[in-house]
Structure 1
Amino acid sequence: MSQIDNNAVVLFQGDSITENWRRHEDGASLGIGYANVIASQFGYKYPHKQATFLNRGIGGDRVTDLTRRWQTDCLDLKPTLVSIFIGINDTWRRYDANNPMSAEQFYTLYRNLLIVTKEELNAGLVLMEPFLLPVREEQWSWREDLDPKIQAVRQLAREFGLPYVPLDGLFAAAAATSGPEYWAPDGVHPSAAGNGLIAEAWLKAVNA
């Protein structure tokens, strides 16, 4: 059964990968990334469902930033399905700003978002794991920090019984044959093909 019902309001939350050139002054703007691809494909296949898609991703965000703006940018919007894609900046800031976050902190803050969303909205949730395709030598060391955070998101998906999008594994498999830059030129932000990969995996996860 699809996770997206008739007249659903689907909210995409996350960082720059989700934001992807959306216009903040336009509440209906989806940007040019995976959120727009998903909305386009779902709307084309299921026009009778009249689903609404919203994007509130903000570049540079970490799980602490989602926590700070969750009331305004999630709960107040009354979504029926919330998709969360966060984590790479919680790793990246350790290496470029000496501002680390432990996997335990990440798990706790993320878990609190899920609890408040369930309690206040009874909305469905989709969790998307952060991914990294190292294209620079120093990015290989990031795995030490990112891998426990990926495991934290997987644990939350199991704990709450939620649809899960295993992007790190999917991107690694895709890059094995064509190289990482094809899918994410800087190792973090997906190309057009990378956004297509994300969209397809997300739609599969929600049975759409």
Structure 2
Amino acid sequence: MRITEKDTLLFIGDSITDSGRDRTDPASLGDGYVHGIARTLRDRAGTGPGPTVINRGISGHRVYDLEPRWTTDVIDHRPTVVTVKIGINDTWRRYDQELLSPVDEFEACLDRLLTETERRLSARLVVITPFLLPVTPGQEDWFEDLAPRTDAVLRTALAHNALVVRADLVLPRAAEEEGAAELAPDGVHPTPLGHRLIADAWFAEVDAAPPTP
């Protein structure tokens, strides 16, 4: 797929997508991977307008938090490409708040969101897998919950013919050389380098043009 100036790209998810955006400013993209993708597309457009990029990530959200705002934050913008990055908070809340998100319910909710998008839009779907780069011994235990959840994300993406950005593979591979803390100091929230790797992976899967360094 080649992104053009006619496209509207919408990104939705949790804090990794939010990345400090100003929610009082609809045009704010934060300072993470969404901003990096938008900057590359703008640079590529030269003097042209470039595609529209919208960030609707909200820090702390689980998949269930996306559902009540899906029409307002996704459908009503009539995007041509929808990228969803969700799942790590569904795992994290089990370990810090004992708030469970059963994988079957998580999968059913994500499926409803993608089904609704297909029903109401002619948009290309993109799913970014959740990831974890353990920086403490206790975080290793999270994979008991996260691994089946990632499998659920992959199954749902396949069922909807969505493009898949494998952040769960790209970031751990990079961490072998860079170190986990260099990519995500708390194991979850990316550094600028971590965000750049996500943006690179998004371009590699969604659009063949390489990002600007």
Ranges in structure 2 where 5+ consecutive residues have no aligned partner: none
Percent of aligned pairs sharing the same letter: 44
Q: Distance in 2 between matches of 1:133 and 1:65?
A: 24
| CA RMSD after TM alignment | 1.1
CA contact (8 A) 1:7 1:49 kept: no
Ranges in structure 1 where 5+ consecutive residues have no aligned partner: none
Q: Distance in 2 between matches of 1:5 and 1:193?
A: 26
Q: Distance in 2 between matches of 1:11 and 1:25?
A: 17
Displacement of 1:156:
1.6
Q: How does 1:3-42 map to 2 (within 5 A)?
A: 4-42=3-41
CA contact (8 A) 2:8 2:52 kept: yes
Please identify, of 59-68 and 155-164, the stretch whose mean Cα deviation from structure 2 is larger. 155-164
Please identify, of 40-49 and 29-38, the stretch whose mean Cα deviation from structure 2 is larger. 40-49
Q: Distance in 2 between matches of 1:5 and 1:161?
A: 21
Secondary structure of the equivalent of 1:56? strand
Displacement of 1:7:
1.4
Q: Distance in 1 between matches of 2:160 and 2:31?
A: 30
CA contact (8 A) 1:34 1:199 kept: yes
Displacement of 1:49:
6.7
2:148 aligns to what?
148
Q: Distance in 1 between matches of 2:180 and 2:138?
A: 15
Q: Distance in 2 between matches of 1:110 and 1:84?
A: 9
2:65 aligns to what?
65
2:132 aligns to what?
132
CA contact (8 A) 2:7 2:80 kept: yes
2:199 aligns to what?
199
Q: Distance in 1 between matches of 2:203 and 2:79?
A: 17
TM-score by length of 2: 0.94
Displacement of 1:116:
0.3
Displacement of 1:5:
3.6
TM-score by length of 1: 0.96
Deviations 1:117-136 (A, max 9, x none): 01111211100000000001
